[in-house]
A = this chain, B = another copy of it.
Amino acid sequence: MITGKNYIGNKLSALGTISHKTINPKLNIENPTKFIEATSEEIEEAAQLASQAFKVYRKVSGKGKAAFLNAIADEILALDQELIDAYTTESGLPEGRAIGERGRTIMQLKSFADLVSKENWKNNSFDEAIPERQPLPKDDLRKTVIPLGPVVVFGASNFPLAFSTAGGDTASALAAGCPVILKAHEMHSGTSELVASAIIKAAEKTSMPNGVFSQLSGRGPVVGSALVNHPKVKAVGFTGSIGAGRAIFNLASMREEPIPVYAEMGSINPVVITPRAIDVRGEAIATNYASSITVGTGQFCTNPGLLITIEGDKTDDFIQDLAKKTVAIEPQCMLHPNIKAGFEKNGEIVSSQKGVKTVAKMEGEIKNNFAASQIVTVSGVDFLANAKIHQEVFGPFSLVVKSKDEAQLIEVIEALEGQLTGTIIAEKEDVENLIDIVDALSNRVGRIIFNGVPTGVEVCPSMHHGGPYPASSDSKFTSVGVDAIYRWVRPVSYQSFPTELLPESLKNN
């Protein structure tokens, strides 16, 4: 059922000659299907179809969009084992993760369906007319939100389902009333095609306009750049590396009509651990963090890549213990040989900086594309002196900073780039002394966690998944949770409008 073709609206298409295959990282072999890169004609057709579809789709009722989203969820479930097999074959991730991530994807689609089936997410606002006001009468004014237009979404490497073809960006854009053109991630093109077929089926079953969804294949930046530069495209969603996210942001900003890019990029997710916490329950923290550092082979954007401590004998013992526990966890397969190569290269760059010492690195024979976890340490002074040490190593790798005192610990926090999360591990007795740390951390992150781990992102209204640059390109918006819909809409006011011409949700105050 995987054909290797693009979906240009509801039509399978493969006009091009450039192709790629996906890789089974566990077996370290190529998977059989050839995926044909979209041509410029196919890109043009997808964009024109999306623009035409927008004229119809933007007027589909909330209940109509909800039916579409729920139908996508049903069609994804109907793909059954074929989807799970494609997922595990292309990602090296275990079946349990595939099933869990499918569940999350379904839940996301259903929660956006739920959201838009009522109108209150639009936060409509009403100001009544005051005809007798002096010196000038006040007109009736009502405000709602409307969709931006066709959206390009880039599939993420590390979430082949929940942040790819029918993932959070697509679900939120479709819920908002925006057609989506998906640039599938080259590492899981088969999984993406299966999910695209589910979206197309759902669109047909619920009578959505052709072009409400297209999916294009392509390796490297050619297809993605053409999409971002297309005048009919009005916004972009992206989850991935800082390099790729920034390149997309630059393209979008330099267009004749600049468009917004919601890119969720890297993060090292600093974790502050107080000396008292180490003293009271160092071993439990080490156990917990060894697990958080290695879960999903460290391939989460909320992976704790930086632990910030204050130096001391007990801190040294804690770091030794953490390192021992981390490297004792059985190695797992990474998503792709390129991800493994990046992990090794970036790990070496950080490890080889002045003052950085490796505490432990997993040794012995490791299978192809499996990751050797590593814990390194550095002094506060050396960390502050060298921004290269602040960079993300995507994988099971953590750096422990030993600050000389609390003032330096705060300096370390203030020197960080923007982050998705910051965590504080502390005892009750520490609380009154943590105000400055909380203050410094909140100025650098989008979510602060107390005595927990940053991995595991709850999908709920109070979740914010985003942060100051480069954690995301726009710190105002979240890519997780129902508020993600606000990336794809803009406000419009209606002044003195006849009821018949108002959008449904503005007809009654």
CB within 8 Å of B: which residues of A? 55, 58-59, 125-127, 136, 138-139, 141-143, 146, 148-149, 249-250, 253-254, 257-258, 260, 417-418, 428, 431-432, 434-435, 438-439, 442-443, 445-452, 456, 458, 460-464, 466, 468-470, 473-476, 478, 483, 486, 489-498, 500-501
Chain B residues with CB under 8 Å of A475's CB are 148, 490
Shortest C-beta distance, A285 to chain B (Å), equals: 15
Q: With A450-B495, A494-B448 given, is the CB distance from A143 to B464 under 8 Å?
A: yes
- Establish whether residues B462 and A431, one from each chain, have CB atoms under 8 Å apart when the complex forms: no
- Establish whether residues B127 and A434, one from each chain, have CB atoms under 8 Å apart when the complex forms: no
CA distance A456 to B139 in the complex (A): 11
- Establish whether residues A462 and B141, one from each chain, have CB atoms under 8 Å apart when the complex forms: yes
CA distance A496 to B424 in the complex (A): 10
Q: With A492-B448, A497-B450 given, is the CB distance from A460 to B141 under 8 Å?
A: yes
Shortest C-beta distance, A444 to chain B (Å), equals: 10
Shortest C-beta distance, A162 to chain B (Å), equals: 16
- Establish whether residues A496 and B253, one from each chain, have CB atoms under 8 Å apart when the complex forms: no
- Establish whether residues A447 and B493, one from each chain, have CB atoms under 8 Å apart when the complex forms: yes
- Establish whether residues B139 and A431, one from each chain, have CB atoms under 8 Å apart when the complex forms: no
Q: How many copies of this kind of chain does the complex include?
A: 2
CA distance A89 to B501 in the complex (A): 46
Q: With A469-B258, A473-B258 given, is the CB distance from A449 to B495 under 8 Å?
A: yes
- Establish whether residues B449 and A496, one from each chain, have CB atoms under 8 Å apart when the complex forms: yes
Q: With A138-B458, A148-B475, A435-B501 given, is the CB distance from A493 to B463 under 8 Å?
A: yes
From the candidates B55, B141, B428, B445, name the one contacting A463 in the complex (CB within 8 A): B141
CA distance A460 to B452 in the complex (A): 43
Chain B residues with CB under 8 Å of A143's CB are 461-464
From the candidates B55, B434, B458, B463, name the one contacting A501 in the complex (CB within 8 A): B434
Shortest C-beta distance, A43 to chain B (Å), equals: 22
Q: Could you list 7 further interchain pairs (A-B, Cβ under 8 angstroms) beyond the known A138-B460, A435-B501? A: A143-B463, A257-B470, A447-B494, A448-B493, A452-B495, A466-B490, A476-B490
Shortest C-beta distance, A37 to chain B (Å), equals: 29
CA distance A501 to B434 in the complex (A): 8
CA distance A493 to B448 in the complex (A): 6
CA distance A405 to B57 in the complex (A): 26
Residue of B nearest to A54 (CB): B443
Chain B residues with CB under 8 Å of A491's CB are 446, 464, 466, 476, 478, 483
Chain B residues with CB under 8 Å of A431's CB are 498, 500-501
- Establish whether residues A126 and B253, one from each chain, have CB atoms under 8 Å apart when the complex forms: no
Chain B residues with CB under 8 Å of A258's CB are 249, 253, 469, 473
Q: With A456-B136, A491-B476, A491-B478 given, is the CB distance from A461 to B127 under 8 Å?
A: yes
Chain B residues with CB under 8 Å of A446's CB are 490-493
Chain B residues with CB under 8 Å of A55's CB are 439
Chain B residues with CB under 8 Å of A466's CB are 490-491
Most chain B CB neighbours (cut-off 10 Å) among A439, A445, A491 = A491
Residue of B nearest to A490 (CB): B475
Q: With A148-B475, A469-B258 given, is the CB distance from A498 to B125 under 8 Å?
A: no
